[in-house]
Amino acid sequence: MIHYPRVVKRIAELIKLAGVSSDAMIEEMTDHYLTEIEYAVGLGSSEQKAIRDTYQNIAQTDLKSIDQKGNKTKWLFGALALVLLIFIVTFQFETTRDPISIADKESIALPNGWPIKSDINHIASGFGVKFHPISNTKIFHKGIDIKASTGTEVLATGDGLITESGYNHSSGYYIIVRHNDQYSTRYLHLSKLEITDDQKVKKGDIIGLVGNSGISLNPHLHYEVIKNEIVVDPLEVIAP
């Protein structure tokens, strides 16, 4: 009588490797092969040899078709998952292609407002690859630079939460607002911060003042929109 857990475990493994997936079938086949070993031992074979022969027998048998029903169910689940995936991807693609449709659905959380309170809205430098006038190299500009005089009010472009604010060498005084699972916005080179971390803000709230702090030649606001960890062109998000 063979009931070493090791042999039982190995047999079940081999059955799985041979292509059987249903637990009920694996249980039944395990009994089959253990009986085969016991039968061989009963006929005078050594236990070692009987076990080895059975291992070999399983490895050489194609059992893939044995639980067709299980495979069919698996296949059906796979097909369903694929259809769902295609649906989700298509839907996502539609929404990312059309910022206005997002605005309809998430108009509260989408950062689609204009980031300063001013009648003059001059964009000194747009989003994307730019030729740097000083270093004569191509750089990727992660946001837009809006020319404005120091002290102009900087506004939250959508409802959100202040996740970070402070000062560093390159950005100067800066603020990061998290709007939803997808969107964050960054406001750089400020002269003054009007908020504190973890503060909730509404679209249009004054969060700081335009300045010339950090690496900046003239007073301006550098404004960035980050969607799913990637910077996007703010002008494509801002409502017309």
Contact set with another protein (CB under 8 A):
1-3, 8, 25, 27-32, 34-36, 38-39, 61-63, 65-69
**For residues 68 and 90, which CB has a smaller minimum distance to another protein in the complex?**
68
Q: Which amino acid is at 163?
A: T
* CB closer to another protein out of 29 and 237: 29
Helix (H, G, I), strand (E, B) or coil at 191: strand
Contact residues for 201 (Cβ-Cβ < 8 A; gap 6+): 156, 159, 160, 161, 162, 177, 195, 207
Distance of closest approach, residue 46 Cβ to another protein, in angstroms:
19
Nearer to another protein, 68 or 218 (CB): 68
> 187 is written with which tokens?
């406001």
Distances (CA, A) of 219 to 40, 63, 71, 154, 205: 91, 74, 66, 12, 21
- Cα separations in angstroms, 26 against 10, 18, 70, 73, 183: 12, 11, 12, 16, 49
CA atoms within 13 A on the CB side of 86: 6
Question: Is residue 34 within 8 Å of residue 55, measured between CB atoms?
Answer: no
Which lies closer to another protein via its Cβ, residue 3 or residue 97?
3
In whole angstroms, how close is the CB of 44 to another protein at the nearest point? 16
Which of 72, 63, 50 has its CA nearest to residue 12? 63
Nearer to another protein, 69 or 122 (CB): 69
